[in-house]
Amino acid sequence: MKAMVLRAPGQPLESLKIEKPKPGAGDVVVRVTACGVCRTDLHLLDGELPPTNLPVVPGHEIVGHVVEMGKDVDRFAIGDRVGIPWLGRTCQSCRYCLADRENLCDDPTFTGYQSDGGFAEFARADARFCFPIVGDFDDAEAAPLLCAGLIGHRSLKMVDQAERIGIYGFGAAAHIVAQVARYQGREIYAFTRPFDRVAQDFALTLGAVWASGSDQPCPVELDAAIIFAPVGSLIPRALRSVRKGGTVVCGGIHMSAIPSFPYELLWGERSVKSVANLTRKDAEEFLNLAPEVPIKTKVVRFSLDDANTALSKLRDSEITGAAVLIP
């Protein structure tokens, strides 16, 4: 099969012919019809995440159809449309797995990181960590739900009943979570790169009540903030905008260094939290919710061969919505 392969951090992906995966016990093999391009893929490519299993096929927002099944798979049938997310497998025996916190598993396998992902024509996955994709989404529109949507959903749960929410970095995850928040009757305040009118106008079309650069003060006191941009200096900025008792949630897997800031920004029982991965419960909740909203993802389609172009445009913030590869 054709696949885009990362051999070493800092190098572009290579288009190679590699062996099509075979299913082991409990696995499914999926013909990939769409795979979202996530900022985590970019962190891996740029060496901001430590390489653990190179060479590797990136990609963890996978939508496709089951073409083969291993022994003991009873969740799916040949031809079913399924999604494969970032969390590919857990040990199911560590203290976190036993406490229903599998997102913090001590020995996880992450799709497109420890195991080959969806920048390819076929992908293999543990059937227990795959999910049926329902609703009227086409395959490309569904792909960003598998990470941008799931991380946004988990981030939104962390702010509890907050009514006024600031979102810092208005990319793939933000454009999905904003729709969910508006569906729930909350107010969204969007913070983008300074002078990025395209992103600000995009946020306003999705129901944000205000949108401006992250260098500007918020016009109201926020109940909470969610940071998707991997920029550590946004944490003290967000804390300045959040009321006493409010929460700042960091939704990325990687962030630049956080600068020192005066304790008074944190005082007043403000809190800073990180989102780490996801659970299968998150996926079930969100994928059932998505058609109810209904979420409308904005996607920019690229061929598999153009994966490096998609990653470059993501790095330069030239993607409005989400980039998706179509094998």
pLDDT (tens digit per residue) in 156-179 = 999 999 999 999 999 999 999 999
Average pLDDT on 50-73 reads 96
pLDDT at 133: 96
Assess whether pLDDT exceeds 90 at residue 51.
no
Tell me: do 33 and 96 sit in the same domain: yes
Cα→Cα distances 129→26, 103, 149, 280, 301, Å:
10, 12, 16, 7, 26
Check whether 48 has a pLDDT greater than 90. Answer: yes
Report the C-alpha gap between 25 and 4 in whole angstroms. 26
13 and 143 both lie in a single domain:
yes
Looking at the fold, whether 77 and 155 belong to one and the same domain comes out as no
- The reported pLDDT for the residue numbered 21 is 98
User: How does strand 81-84 pair with strand 322-326?
Assistant: unpaired
Same domain, 229 and 256: yes
Q: Does 240 share its domain with 313?
A: no
* pLDDT at residue number 7: 96
Per-residue pLDDT at 135: 86
**Final residue belonging to a domain, choices 238, 258, 274:** 274
Give the pLDDT of residue 264: 97
Pair (20, 139) in one structural domain: yes
CATH number for the domain that contains residue 118: 3.90.180.10
Residue 159's domain comprises 151-274
pLDDT in tens, 7-41: 999 999 999 999 999 999 999 999 999 999 999 99
Q: With 90 as the cut, is the pLDDT of residue 85 above it?
A: yes
Say if residue 123 is in the same domain as residue 140. yes
- Domain finish residue from 254, 274, 294: 274
Is the confidence at residue 52, as pLDDT, over 90? no
Whether 180 has a pLDDT exceeding 90, the answer reads yes
Q: What b-and-e string marks burial along 258-288, b requiring 16 or more CB atoms within 10 Å of the CB? A: eeeeeeebbeeebebeebebbbbebbeebbe
Average pLDDT over residues 174-190: 97
Domain-terminating residue out of 274, 292, 318: 274
The two tokens of residue 162 are 């907050």
pLDDT tens-digit series, residues 203-248: 999 999 999 999 999 999 999 999 999 999 999 999 999 999 999 9
pLDDT at 321 over 90: yes
Q: Are residues 205 and 58 in the same domain?
A: no
Whether 191 and 89 map to the same domain: the answer is no
Residues 28 and 55 both lie in one domain: yes
| Crossing angle between the packed helical segments 197-205 and 172-183, to the nearest 10 degrees | 30
State how many domains the chain has.
2
pLDDT of amino acid 119 = 98
What rounded mean pLDDT belongs to the chain? 97
Whether 139 and 41 share a structural domain: yes
Is residue 170 located within the same domain as residue 93? no
Write the CATH number for 211: 3.40.50.720
| Per-residue pLDDT tens over the stretch 124-142 | 999 999 999 988 999 999 9
What's the pLDDT band for 306 if we cut at 50, 70, 90? very high
